[in-house]
Amino acid sequence: MLKPSNSIIVCIIFLILLSYSCEKEDDYMYSKEQQIEDESIKEVVQDSTFTDAQLLKVLEEELEFIALEKQGAIVDISGMDIVKENPKKVYVHYMPWFQSKDFDGYWGQHWTMTNQNPDVKDENGNSQIASYYYPLIGPYSSCDPDLQEYHFLMMKLSGVDGVIFDWYGSRDLKDYGLIKKSTETFIDTLEDLGMEFSIMYEDRVAKQAAQESLSKDIVQAVKEDFSYINKEYFSSPQYMKHNDKNMLFIFGPSHLTTQNEWNQVFNILPEDNRPDFLTLWASKDNVGLNATGEFLWVDKDHLLAHDYYYNTYESTNKITVGSSYPGFKSFYTKGGWTEGINDWVIKPNQGHTFVETLNYTHHERSDFIQIITWNDFGEGTMIEPTQEFGFTYLQVLQQYTGVTFTPDDLQIALDLYKTRKKHKDNRRVQRYLNRTYKYIKRLKLRRAKKILKAINRFY
């Protein structure tokens, strides 16, 4: 009979102690939270505030846990397990293309277009940006980890399953290299929260690459981009799958338009790793048998387009994607952009447009839903919280997905972001806030709220 070596015994003891310390943290935290909550009910009947002593005790306890983390006695667990009554998968189309002066040192073109200047403030202190709507947190950088944390916590608390990144190829052409870079900075946070992601490719970037002699032709340019996607993104455990196959989207195609060309592209991918490929509606004939299905996009015909999409294409699609949006109001003309101009408007109607598109036959007839969009401020299709709409769209989404969270829970994620920015140079506070993020991720929202209250009272 083999006897364990001393090193193995030490490892076993360490694992037992590690497991015990994690359980001890949960038990300790539960008893402490319950004790403080009972005391607050007794001491403060009129409102929900906490005494100085109670909040100071929270900070003292968190310092103990921070010390245990440094010693390796507390191990963080990845994933944020959300229970949804509605099993329908919901993904949001995401624009990773913003830059801000605070984070990047300059304002990117998606905040400025050709004639807006975010350094100019209005009477309310809002920056002049290229949009008819204003982010609740103001203009931001897509590469900012605080922004990524805020966006994805908001999504999780609203029942969103993942994001579809608008992606413009693997080359450093125009601002496409920046978009690729910012997309990749998101992946760690996505994986940590257990969110899925996919890529929405635009083949016009391949045409531009060929024109700039960065590839010998359009087919080769697409091949290179797909090789990059296969290597860098398909390998993620959180890459979006449907029926165990990777999902890849294309906004088009508009420049590679024959099955033979797409055969050449897909031949570079391993046969056992070829993705389901979804085109823009009425475009899959440009891909031929390589297309699995199509997705609808916001259109000036509004619900008539939904009717046409479902009644014309559903029977020929292996995968049907429901598309929902809150409205449409493009800033392109006012911002001086000449490409992609659409001067028609779909009014938000105080949130009713989002409700009607979210419910439009999606329950029965779509495999999953793509929300158009999380943050396209230039076209006014964002459901990200804004000054104009607050949490309205996310509250609607919470009701649709059937999560148990409320706008009060969304406020905790917003307060975390604001507190990070307020104390961005305070290392101790940031350590407290790292703990706050972990509590939100573990759905201990009451504890997260107490830490934020304590920080805002004493720092």
- Report pLDDT digits (tens) over 124-146: 999 999 999 999 999 999 999 99
Residue-by-residue DSSP string for 309-362: HHHHHGGG-SEEEEEE-S-EE--HHHHT--TT----EE--GGGHHHHHHHHSSH
Q: What is the pLDDT of residue 363?
A: 64
Q: State the amino acid at position 188 in one-letter form.
A: D
Q: What is the pLDDT of residue 361?
A: 65
140 shares its domain with 238 = yes
Is 156 contained in some domain?
yes
Is 184 contained in some domain?
yes
* C-alpha to C-alpha distance for 177 and 96, rounded to whole angstroms: 11
Q: What is the pLDDT of residue 145?
A: 97
Three-state secondary-structure class, residue 276: strand
Nearest CA to 98 among 137, 66, 65, 59? 137
Is 270 contained in some domain?
yes
Among 194-198, 216-220, 251-255, 358-362, the minimum mean pLDDT is found in 358-362
Among 26-40, 75-89, 106-120, 178-192, the minimum mean pLDDT is found in 26-40
136 shares its domain with 245 = yes
Q: What is the pLDDT of residue 105?
A: 97
Phi, psi of 289 (to 5 degrees): -70, -10
99 shares its domain with 201 = yes
CB 198 within 8 A of CB 162: yes
* C-alpha to C-alpha distance for 358 and 323, rounded to whole angstroms: 7
Residue-by-residue DSSP string for 178-236: HHHHHHHHHHHHHHHHT-EEEEEE-THHHHHHHHTTSSSSHHHHHHHHHHHHHHHTTTS
Q: What is the pLDDT of residue 459?
A: 95
Q: How many CA atoms lie within 13 A of 438 on its CB side?
A: 16
Residue 304 in this model has a pLDDT that exceeds 60: yes
Among 20-29, 163-172, 328-337, the minimum mean pLDDT is found in 20-29
| 368 bridge partner residues | 89, 321
Q: What is the pLDDT of residue 74?
A: 83
Counting every residue written for the chain, the total comes to 459
User: Residues 6 or more apart from 310 whose CB is under 8 A from it?
Assistant: 320, 361, 365
Mean pLDDT of 262-269: 95
Neighbours of 431 (CB within 10 A): 16
Q: What is the pLDDT of residue 31?
A: 52
Q: Which residue has the tokens 């105080």?
A: 350
Among 149-158, 359-368, 416-425, 427-436, the minimum mean pLDDT is found in 359-368
Q: What is the pLDDT of residue 85?
A: 97
Q: What is the pLDDT of residue 341?
A: 85
User: Residues 6 or more apart from 349 whose CB is under 8 A from it?
Assistant: 327
Q: What is the pLDDT of residue 259?
A: 95
Instruction: Give the chain's count of helices (H) and strands (E).
Output: 17, 11
Provide the number of structural domains found in the chain: 2
Mean pLDDT of 75-81: 88
Residue 175 in this model has a pLDDT that exceeds 60: yes
Neighbours of 137 (CB within 10 A): 18
215-235 burial, b if ≥16 CB within 10 A, otherwise e?
Answer: beebbbbbbbbbebbbeebbe
Percent of the chain with pLDDT over 70: 89
Its pTM surpasses 0.75 = yes
Q: What is the pLDDT of residue 271?
A: 86
Q: What is the pLDDT of residue 4?
A: 38
Is 80 contained in some domain?
no
Q: What is the pLDDT of residue 313?
A: 74
Mean pLDDT of 417-427: 97
Q: What is the pLDDT of residue 35?
A: 53
Confidence of residue 317 (pLDDT cuts 50, 70, 90): confident
25 shares its domain with 93 = no
CB 295 within 8 A of CB 249: yes
Tell me how far CA of residue 233 lies from CA of 167, 275, 326, 365, 435, in angstroms: 12, 12, 29, 29, 29
Is 414 contained in some domain?
no
71 shares its domain with 93 = no
Mean pLDDT of 176-190: 94
- Report pLDDT digits (tens) over 14-55: 333 344 344 444 444 445 445 544 444 444 433 368 999 999
Mean pLDDT of the chain: 89
Phi, psi of 241 (to 5 degrees): -130, 150
Residue 273 in this model has a pLDDT that exceeds 50: yes
Neighbours of 5 (CB within 10 A): 9
173 shares its domain with 44 = no
Here the CATH number for the domain that contains residue 372 is 3.20.20.80
Q: State whether the Cα torsion 127-168-142-107 is positive or negative.
A: negative
Among 18-32, 296-310, 349-363, the minimum mean pLDDT is found in 18-32
63 shares its domain with 150 = no
Nearest CA to 452 among 430, 442, 443? 430
142 shares its domain with 65 = no
Q: What is the largest CA-CA distance in the chain?
A: 81
Which helix (H) or strand (E) segment holds residue 89: the answer is strand 89-94
Domain region containing 12:
6-75+426-458
Is 285 contained in some domain?
yes
263 shares its domain with 323 = yes
61 shares its domain with 185 = no
Is 324 contained in some domain?
yes
Q: What is the pLDDT of residue 107?
A: 98
* C-alpha to C-alpha distance for 354 and 251, rounded to whole angstroms: 22
45 shares its domain with 97 = no
Tell me how far CA of residue 436 lies from CA of 218, 440, 447, in angstroms: 48, 6, 8
Phi, psi of 14 (to 5 degrees): -60, -45
Among 29-33, 202-206, 247-251, the minimum mean pLDDT is found in 29-33
Which helix (H) or strand (E) segment holds residue 294: the answer is strand 293-295
Tell me how far CA of residue 384 lies from CA of 148, 155, 253, in angstroms: 12, 9, 28
Q: What is the pLDDT of residue 315?
A: 73
Is 83 contained in some domain?
no
Q: What is the pLDDT of residue 77?
A: 83
Q: Which residue has the tokens 């929260």?
A: 193
40 shares its domain with 161 = no
